[in-house]
A = this chain, B = another copy of it.
Amino acid sequence: MTPDERLERFSELTVRVGANIQPGQEVVLIYQVEHVPIARAVARAALAAGARRVSPLIGDLHLRRAAIELGPQDELGITPGYVLDWVRTFADTRPAIVTLTGDPEPDLFAGLDPVLIGKAEPRDLRALVISLITESLVNWTIVSAPNPGWAEMVFGEPDVERLWQAVATTMRLDDNDPVAAWREHAATLDARAAALNERAFDAVRFRGPGTDLVVGLMDVSRWLSASFETQSGIAHMPNLPTEEVFTTPDWRRTEGVVRSTYPLVVPGIGVRVEGLAFRFSEGRIVDVEAEGDGADIIRTQLASDERAPFLGEIALVDGSSRVRQTGIVFYNTLFDENATCHIAYGSGLPMAVDGADGKSADELLEQGVNVSSAHTDFMIGGPEVEVDGLAKDGSTTPIIRDDHWVLD
């Protein structure tokens, strides 16, 4: 497989399996300037798949750094109104949304005030996009685009070819028929979700070094996996690669302590937070620990709205994960979250809740589904972490032992 073939397979998979772009559909392609070569290939694949138009939304995090350093503070985090107005039209126009990630430069925000870094995140834009997604209005996918900065973060040197090989492995691009390989893999994950839904656990417990956490579920929490469907019936895979089964927990019912087993790379700003640990009480994160400035950055995120310090997602992954098997820490949540079990503070996922369609924010909260402009995943699983399902009667069922999925 030549690099050109690899890029073509990556792009095909992104538009046909990931976003599942429909003939005549508009495609909104969101990326950073460092992703340009891959964005071009994805745009071509989208048009070849019948997209009517590719509307790019190209950003440059260096401009965000400049604004933090040199601009007035009250401008930070503001997305221009014309962009927000455009995104608001998506509820009617229903474009496909393809986002490329892969943090383009390690330590770009090093040395800046963590409070300002947090303020500079585009909160309003993110909230709009999250609401489109949680209401299943758009078919969307996020894929990660290998680039020199990301390769440097992973390997300590900008070895993009090595990163590409790892990404190709996790995305099964080396398979004879990557599209068929993804369908088969999705069926395996669906079977895990079905087993969890059959048991209808009341809570999930994680136990390991520094971790003893019970995450309470709702009666209506539904376990999902790779494949989503829009309200209008377009199947799509929001993340490629994906190895998880996940659901929305009850935001009021998490208790205990948890230690992150991977670094957390803060979405959008690329800051790496190591040694993260939380204590939960009645669902709320009440203590934050991390190395260096990390705890301040996380606290700023948690302060972004009233509901940010509560969980919105719980996801289970075992050691058979292709991401795990590369043995690589990707410093990229979309990859690392697929290496092991994780939870996310911030917004819940209504599509993972039975009967949530059409409910207001207040009704969702009342039911136990968190509503927030934040949604940040962090990894808590690994070989030393046991995962159990807890039934209402207090009985315990092993789900993951020694890094193996054991629930039938």
The complex places the Cα of A89 from the Cα of B44 at a distance, in Å, of 32
Q: A75's contact among B52, B67, B89, by CB below 8 Å, is which? A: B52
Q: In the complex, which residues of chain B have a beta carbon less than 8 angstroms from the beta carbon of A40?
A: 60, 62-63, 66
The complex places the Cα of A340 from the Cα of B210 at a distance, in Å, of 74
Q: Closest residue to A53 on the B side, CB-wise? A: B75
On whether the beta carbons of A66 and B86 are closer than 8 Å, the reply is no
Give min CB distance, A47 to chain B, whole Å. 4
Interface hit among A77-85, A259-267, A303-311, A365-373: A77-85
Give min CB distance, A177 to chain B, whole Å. 24
On whether the beta carbons of B48 and A70 are closer than 8 Å, the reply is yes
On whether the beta carbons of B43 and A66 are closer than 8 Å, the reply is yes
Contacts known (A63-B56, A67-B47); A80 close to B86, Cβ less than 8 A: yes
Asked whether any CB of chain B lies closer than 8 Å to the CB of A110, the reply is no
Classify chain A's interface size.
20 to 34
Q: Which of A55-99 contact B (CB under 8 A)?
A: 55-56, 58-60, 62-63, 66-67, 69-72, 75, 78, 80, 82-83, 85-86, 89
Q: Closest residue to A35 on the B side, CB-wise? A: B33
Give min CB distance, A388 to chain B, whole Å. 49
Contacts known (A86-B80, A89-B82); A43 close to B56, Cβ less than 8 A: no
Asked whether any CB of chain B lies closer than 8 Å to the CB of A191, the reply is no
Asked whether any CB of chain B lies closer than 8 Å to the CB of A125, the reply is no
Q: In the complex, which residues of chain B have a beta carbon less than 8 angstroms from the beta carbon of A69?
A: 44, 47
How many of these chains are in the complex? 2
Q: In the complex, which residues of chain B have a beta carbon less than 8 angstroms from the beta carbon of A66?
A: 40, 43-44, 47, 54
Q: A80's contact among B44, B55, B62, by CB below 8 Å, is which? A: B55
Q: In the complex, which residues of chain B have a beta carbon less than 8 angstroms from the beta carbon of A48?
A: 70
On whether the beta carbons of A47 and B71 are closer than 8 Å, the reply is yes
The complex places the Cα of A86 from the Cα of B81 at a distance, in Å, of 9
The contact string, 1 if C-beta is below 8 Å from chain B, for chain A 271-289, is 0000000000000000000
Give min CB distance, A73 to chain B, whole Å. 11
On whether the beta carbons of B70 and A47 are closer than 8 Å, the reply is yes
Chain A contacts to B: CB under 8 angstroms:
33, 36, 39-40, 43-44, 47-48, 51-56, 58-60, 62-63, 66-67, 69-72, 75, 78, 80, 82-83, 85-86, 89
Instruction: Give 20 A-B pairs besides A55-B80, A80-B86 with Cβ atoms closer than 8 angstroms.
Output: A33-B33, A33-B36, A39-B60, A39-B63, A40-B60, A40-B62, A40-B63, A43-B66, A44-B70, A47-B69, A47-B71, A48-B70, A51-B71, A52-B71, A52-B72, A53-B78, A82-B83, A82-B85, A82-B89, A85-B85
Some 28 contacts from A to B, beta carbons below 8 A apart, are A33-B36, A36-B60, A39-B63, A40-B60, A40-B63, A40-B66, A43-B62, A43-B66, A44-B66, A44-B69, A47-B66, A47-B67, A47-B69, A47-B71, A48-B70, A51-B71, A53-B75, A53-B78, A54-B66, A54-B67, A54-B71, A55-B80, A56-B58, A56-B60, A58-B58, A82-B82, A82-B83, A82-B85
